Structure 1
């Protein structure tokens, strides 16, 4: 009989270990054999994460009351992501695209088209109206697509572009610019094998169809080396279309429907002059924005207005998403996903309702003037197509309304579908020749819209020499420097009163003209190109403002000049923000968006301005080869700066240096009256010898002497000779000459006068909050300057301005017809300023600027305004716009109730 084995600790441990190994083996068998394929796929999915950018929503832009002027809406976008170079084998892609395009067409959706190369006719359309800037963008377009490689191989021994010297780089660029749009188009078709890809499809490959496929291939090529970024095929699709695509994605390899935030401007054109617009990052700026952390393949940036000025706040922080999360993997990889953080919200000082009322009143008045054709029976207002208006809180500097017309719809720029051909031409590429023909002025085409000869080799691009047509993206409220006309007279009154050359009892007999300096000066005794409406008789400072007496204020200007010199008027005007000391480094109103800053007459600025103006005139006449003094002709000479000038050297001197030296000489001749014929002759001979353009031309000594004589006539005899005339001070006193300001500056000047002399920094931004409503910053009023103005001076000037509207009694004020019966008393000043000399204005269909500036209420001002209508006739015409602005601002004032009932005023309220 056998003995039974006893279980001890050793046996038990062995059994446990055996069980463990059996379990491990079974698990390994399960994982590696039974589920091996599954876990292999999962591992590959996790380890091959393809991250795509999740665009962050931009911050909101609201008015002072929280009305949303720029917001975000959810857009349904169709995107394509490629992980292979499709130019090697695009048969499958084109088959898929055929299905995609059919769904888009069946549902009336538009393919995204930001491709700058257009057909029918072949051309490039870039988002810029600067010809030289467009040339830079064109070169970037060509080089991004490596079209320079063939040229480098054929003409530069296969060197890389960075290995070329400056002269060779210029030569390379010139060769690239010789390519026609049609040649470039065909090169890209070959590069991407578009026609061979389409050959296998049973479709009618029209030029428009071919280009649709080219757009996709180009987008893939441009993104291929950017971590396989997706490209937009269609944006902002309808929900129904997005659902159709969602159901079809299994047959559309590489395509996805993505929800992306889209910028939306709910009120269209409203406040476009303030908001600006956003756009895709152009190729020239990609490196700059990439350094700031932008994803240049998907991000939009502010291009103008508040969108641009507050870009750093409005731009959120992009997130990231693994594209494998949308795959059929059972377990999704979320390790790399990062949520997008929305941008900060910007609240403006703007009142959306007042902005709307101002835009409406201005637009209505422009249409009225155009329909009338003339104003006052003598001024042409048929081209009253541009205007601006500003309203400002006089106690803070906050802007309540800022209007520039014509405006534009920022929504045109906020989607990646791209501008239509009509929009692109309207905003960036106006065909002046075609427009002139349509308007019946084709006989003046070469005079009004000459070929822009500052662009070397240009034979087609024209410029609007007399600013005849409106520029939709130009902010006339902050950028237009125009003569202020009689609206400047209150400033002359302040200077005269504060300087002591006049007082409340000073009078002048206004006979309707003013002696500008005698027969040997401008035009003889009593010569005055700026006549008043007949004789005003005896006037003092108050009645002179009310009646707008030119002779009275010219006399004040003469008194100021005789006692204090030519710069005294400017010293007072600078305190009110009308210009600034020429030594000032960064003059401006302080507004956040782009602005120009005009200047009042002073000797230093007048010299600089005249030097620039006469140099420009000389450059143009020399390029045309015609003397302005006697009409004599000579071989054309080019003084314009060209990119290639730095690479052309003669006798150790660069062509660019020779041109610069000649132009500096011309400026000095205008400023100081200096002139050395010997030096000029020598420099022009150097220029002719250095510039290869003149190799086949024969310049005689007679030709060169004619050129030098022309330079002398314009720079010294005309330019420098005009600087010492008392005429400059006389016309500056009535807001003409070099007195050129923006409507924004004019509103700020009136605000400073109305509040007693405190000039505030102008601002549009009230506060900034994060996306959760937490306050980040609050704008507080900032004092820039305090004007030296006594209470008596302010009182006298405002008495005169109150009389203009009838608020001070009487009915003979120049704005009484427009504002005399308004229930809230206001003060103001009309102005009519010449664009240029009357004979030219009449020839080209340009008229006077119609100005109105004012404040309200007259007895305790709260706001100041300025209005200007280009080619708008008399200032009284602009004053009618002020009425609409005041109706909106004072809508809740008890004094307005009876007025609104009487006139049946129904103001549209924006909610």
Structure 2
């Protein structure tokens, strides 16, 4: 039989095992690849497309702004912009790329965009470049700047590292307090660390691949991250300058601030030259993330002309980002109108953005355009402004101010503080503003490109050095009050305040915001009121002795300018000679006609309000002129306004007097009712209760309700006074000191009675001031608390010229699309009417005609002008005596108002020059305005007129601002091709 041998079990070789393992791994890889490339194809394709796809927004040009003849005042031009896009490669080569870019910009005298708040001055000192002088605003901006960059996180860890959950308001306030203690230098160190700028000194070898190198790199990075910002900075400064570090920081900071908003290119430089753009374009392959594009920028062909009307462009502030982003703005790069028409008509002027969806490679360069959306220009705004009249107003104002501050005018000494002013011209029948000038002005082109201002320009416009200016001002003007009197210094912030309105501010629109006393330019209003109310007849005279002393009961004797009398004076002579006496008497009679009550005190104000000067305080909504840009509404003296002013200032006078222990000759032991930090809550409440009782008493003046008698009021305040005495440690110490010094025992009850009597007397005095005739008489000549803007005063002159018809003033005629279709048109709108008898009107006009025909500087200015005009000068005081003027180195305002032609007025004008000392000195801009407006008529009257009038030649014939409506075309995108 055959016997089968058992089979020998075959062992697996190592080679076979290896093959099996390899086959298994290979199989897994194949399955994974199939899964990724087949099953998950669509998903990963979508992800890849998204990561390499970008939407690049295209800025839209703003609408144009025209004058009333079609000249372009604001348009757009195309400019080259250098941008940086964050990609893996551009991040890895960031510093290398930036070095190349900065080198190109430097070699071609270009500036990169620098909006970083933290700056370095010429001495290497760090500072914050604030765009405001307000201490509170500065704190808010600084706090937001530091929080946006995460600097609060380190402070929070230090203060509340063990805290969990949300912080309390108190804790947040503590963090903010610590943030504000961080100096600009400390902030720089923190940002160096925040932006990982240690990468500049990392060993290049650590970029090599491998686990060992990775570990070394991690260890190196950890070493730097454990250092303080200052330690890292000190190491960097061994190789780089502080300005180099800050330049990198500017770009890093912009990238971070935009990183919260998704993919967006960062602007490195704006408005670079074509040649520079060409150089960059040639090197793009070696500049990952860098690109050159064409973008529209705002352009103002006439530069400073009309800047107070047009406004300017600026970046969106961090505090308003969310508001604008909800409206479709890119807060990181879009500009908005910040003042004037640019701001008021932002919604109309802004364009509709376009853009393109593109594919990009690892360097951030476009490889394919997938979709494109066209951008559209905004609507156009057509102004009422006449470019030629505007130039005459603006340049003549600047020239007169220059003459006043340098050589002097009319043989007088220079007035060094006469550095501000305004001129407004209005078309009488329509209310259309033909010119609105404010001095000093500015070139809005400076702000059309962010980050381009020099440190000197930034300081001048946004953050003036008032200490330096003040010292120079004192040296020039001889101001006796010293620097702290001139510019009050806040002890906590160290910031000085220009409450005396001395520093000339370019961005402050003196025409619409500057409140000034009108002085004698107000007298035509008093003339209208006096004649219409019948307290004076047209031919009736009063003997003007120069001193108003014919009514002793009024308690004082105001005078004419210089105390000069005008003898027998009627309304025409009163206006011609600017007789204070006549207008004092007018108000005196008006006051007595209405029996001296509140109606009597308000009668003149009722006329002024109808002329557009101020607004009735009893109205729920104050009426302005109607202008489209921001304006302030003035105050005309009335009982209510004066009472409110007295109440608001009375407590200050009361506290000071009682602290000194003397009131109108009555003496008592000093009694301090000012709230002190170490006062108990009960004492603070007691002091406030006494003040409230006094204020309540004053509030009842002129109110028809039953009031306590003076004796009853006196008794009612005694318990309040006694309570303060008992609670006040300071008062007890004062009593002890007094007793030791005098060697007598103080009778507290007697002291309470003396103080109560003084308090009662104080309220009686305040009531007397509120209700007597002194202030109404002052108001009759444009003095006292009456203050108006030059715009309001020009509107009043236009209303007077229009026989009492007041129209809403406006700057805009119409809004059109880029194709010329009218979107909205603005018509003349009557808002009020002053009834003026024709004979009264004729008499007032005749008196105003004589103003420039009776000698003096105003006649010299208007000599040879063939068109009859009506005028009124004003020398407007705002200080009670010469010594108070000398304290702050200032002078009275010079004001001048009028209209022309006399018989059929077409244009009204008002001008003011701050600190020019004499009203007639403001007359020169008025003639310049008239000549520009009537230029064709003047030449028709006399073809040789241009050669006879030096002003006509200077401000009309030789104006550098020629018409551009037929010549200036905005540069089209297709006309500038990328190199």
Q: Does TM-score exceed 0.5, indicating one fold? A: yes
Shift of residue 872 of structure 1? 1.1
**Which of 467, 471, 475 is equivalent to 2:501?**
467
**Kept in 1: contact 2:432–2:810 (CA 8 A):** yes
**Which of 798, 815, 832 is equivalent to 1:768?**
815
**Kept in 1: contact 2:479–2:889 (CA 8 A):** no
**Which of 575, 578, 583 is equivalent to 1:548?**
578
| 40 and 464 in structure 1: CA distance in 2 versus 1, 3 angstrom threshold | closer
Instruction: Please state if 1:587 is matched with 2:623.
Output: yes
Q: Counterparts in 2 of 1:209-288, with a 5 A limit?
A: 209-288=244-323
Instruction: Please state if 1:897 is matched with 2:940.
Output: no
Q: List runs of 5+ in structure 1 lacking aligned partners.
A: 1-31
**Which of 608, 611, 614 is equivalent to 2:644?**
608
Provide the C-alpha distance between the structure 2 equivalents of 1:307 and 1:624, rounded to a whole number of angstroms.
52
Q: Counterparts in 2 of 1:556-571, with a 5 A limit?
A: 556-564=586-594, 565-571=600-606
Instruction: Please state if 1:819 is matched with 2:819.
Output: no
| 874 and 356 in structure 1: CA distance in 2 versus 1, 3 angstrom threshold | same
Shift of residue 174 of structure 1? 1.7
Provide the C-alpha distance between the structure 1 equivalents of 2:188 and 2:663, rounded to a whole number of angstroms.
45
* Structure 1 equivalent of residue 213 of structure 2: none
* Structure 1 equivalent of residue 781 of structure 2: 734
**Which of 836, 839, 849 is equivalent to 1:802?**
849
| 328 and 415 in structure 1: CA distance in 2 versus 1, 3 angstrom threshold | closer
**Kept in 2: contact 1:670–1:715 (CA 8 A):** no
**Which of 919, 930, 933 is equivalent to 1:886?**
930
Q: List runs of 5+ in structure 2 lacking aligned partners.
A: 1-35, 204-235, 595-599, 702-712, 738-747, 964-979
Deviation string, structure 1 residues 722-781 (Cα, Å, up to 9, x no partner): 222311011110110112111101111111111111111010011111122211111101
Instruction: Please state if 1:292 is matched with 2:327.
Output: yes
Q: How does the TM-score come out when normalised to structure 2? A: 0.79
**Which of 135, 139, 153 is equivalent to 1:135?**
139
Q: Does 495-504 or 623-632 show the bigger shift? A: 623-632
Instruction: Please state if 1:189 is matched with 2:192.
Output: yes
* Structure 2 equivalent of residue 866 of structure 1: 910
Provide the C-alpha distance between the structure 2 equivalents of 1:162 and 1:509, rounded to a whole number of angstroms.
79
**Kept in 1: contact 2:577–2:851 (CA 8 A):** yes
**Which of 59, 68, 81 is equivalent to 2:63?**
59
Provide the C-alpha distance between the structure 1 equivalents of 2:457 and 2:167, rounded to a whole number of angstroms.
41
Deviation string, structure 1 residues 609-652 (Cα, Å, up to 9, x no partner): 22334457779x79999999999999999879xxxx9xx99979
**Kept in 1: contact 2:663–2:758 (CA 8 A):** no
* Structure 2 equivalent of residue 15 of structure 1: none
| 671 and 484 in structure 1: CA distance in 2 versus 1, 3 angstrom threshold | farther
Instruction: Please state if 1:572 is matched with 2:573.
Output: no
Shift of residue 419 of structure 1? 2.6
Shift of residue 355 of structure 1? 0.6
Counterpart of 2:151 in 1: which secondary structure?
Answer: coil
Q: Counterparts in 2 of 1:742-753, with a 5 A limit?
A: 742-753=789-800
Instruction: Please state if 1:175 is matched with 2:171.
Output: no
Counterpart of 1:470 in 2: which secondary structure?
Answer: coil
**Kept in 1: contact 2:131–2:462 (CA 8 A):** yes
| 133 and 629 in structure 1: CA distance in 2 versus 1, 3 angstrom threshold | farther
* Structure 2 equivalent of residue 94 of structure 1: 95
Counterpart of 2:771 in 1: which secondary structure?
Answer: coil
Provide the C-alpha distance between the structure 2 equivalents of 1:364 and 1:411, rounded to a whole number of angstroms.
22
**Which of 156, 162, 165 is equivalent to 1:152?**
156
Shift of residue 252 of structure 1? 1.1
Q: Counterparts in 2 of 1:43-122, with a 5 A limit?
A: 44-45=48-49, 48-83=52-87, 92-119=93-120, 120-122=124-126
**Which of 472, 492, 495 is equivalent to 2:526?**
492
| 215 and 553 in structure 1: CA distance in 2 versus 1, 3 angstrom threshold | same
| 60 and 660 in structure 1: CA distance in 2 versus 1, 3 angstrom threshold | farther
Shift of residue 685 of structure 1? 9.9
**Kept in 2: contact 1:397–1:760 (CA 8 A):** yes
Provide the C-alpha distance between the structure 2 equivalents of 1:475 and 1:56, rounded to a whole number of angstroms.
29
Provide the C-alpha distance between the structure 1 equivalents of 2:81 and 2:838, rounded to a whole number of angstroms.
63
| 279 and 859 in structure 1: CA distance in 2 versus 1, 3 angstrom threshold | same
Shift of residue 452 of structure 1? 3.9
Shift of residue 418 of structure 1? 4.0
**Kept in 2: contact 1:592–1:763 (CA 8 A):** yes
Q: Counterparts in 2 of 1:404-443, with a 5 A limit?
A: 404-439=438-473, 440=475
Provide the C-alpha distance between the structure 1 equivalents of 2:89 and 2:486, rounded to a whole number of angstroms.
47
* Structure 1 equivalent of residue 370 of structure 2: 334
Deviation string, structure 1 residues 29-72 (Cα, Å, up to 9, x no partner): xxx99xxx9x9999934674222322211111111111111111
Q: Counterparts in 2 of 1:840-859, with a 5 A limit?
A: 840-859=884-903
Q: Counterparts in 2 of 1:9-20, with a 5 A limit?
A: none
Counterpart of 1:353 in 2: which secondary structure?
Answer: helix
| 759 and 616 in structure 1: CA distance in 2 versus 1, 3 angstrom threshold | farther
* Structure 2 equivalent of residue 537 of structure 1: 567
**Kept in 2: contact 1:195–1:210 (CA 8 A):** no
**Kept in 2: contact 1:116–1:124 (CA 8 A):** yes
Shift of residue 294 of structure 1? 1.4
Q: Does 224-233 or 170-179 show the bigger shift? A: 170-179
Shift of residue 402 of structure 1? 0.2
Instruction: Please state if 1:759 is matched with 2:806.
Output: yes
**Kept in 1: contact 2:486–2:888 (CA 8 A):** no
**Which of 380, 386, 390 is equivalent to 1:355?**
390
**Kept in 2: contact 1:516–1:726 (CA 8 A):** no
* Structure 2 equivalent of residue 910 of structure 1: 962
Shift of residue 819 of structure 1? 1.6
Counterpart of 2:530 in 1: which secondary structure?
Answer: helix
Deviation string, structure 1 residues 105-131 (Cα, Å, up to 9, x no partner): 111111111111112322212222322
Provide the C-alpha distance between the structure 1 equivalents of 2:181 and 2:166, rounded to a whole number of angstroms.
21
Counterpart of 1:567 in 2: which secondary structure?
Answer: helix
Provide the C-alpha distance between the structure 2 equivalents of 1:686 and 1:364, rounded to a whole number of angstroms.
65
Q: CA RMSD in A?
A: 4.0
Q: Tell me how many residue pairs correspond in the alignment.
A: 845
Q: Counterparts in 2 of 1:824-835, with a 5 A limit?
A: 824-835=867-878
Provide the C-alpha distance between the structure 1 equivalents of 2:310 and 2:698, rounded to a whole number of angstroms.
42
* Structure 1 equivalent of residue 486 of structure 2: 449
**Which of 347, 350, 364 is equivalent to 2:399?**
364
Deviation string, structure 1 residues 124-181 (Cα, Å, up to 9, x no partner): 122223221121111111111121112223324566996423x333333222211111
Q: How does the TM-score come out when normalised to structure 1? A: 0.84
Counterpart of 1:483 in 2: which secondary structure?
Answer: coil
Deviation string, structure 1 residues 346-394 (Cα, Å, up to 9, x no partner): 11000111111111111111112112457675x8722111110000001
**Kept in 1: contact 2:686–2:720 (CA 8 A):** no
Counterpart of 1:228 in 2: which secondary structure?
Answer: coil
Provide the C-alpha distance between the structure 2 equivalents of 1:394 and 1:161, rounded to a whole number of angstroms.
66
Shift of residue 662 of structure 1? 8.3
**Kept in 1: contact 2:63–2:818 (CA 8 A):** yes
| 149 and 633 in structure 1: CA distance in 2 versus 1, 3 angstrom threshold | farther
* Structure 1 equivalent of residue 127 of structure 2: 123
| 308 and 774 in structure 1: CA distance in 2 versus 1, 3 angstrom threshold | same
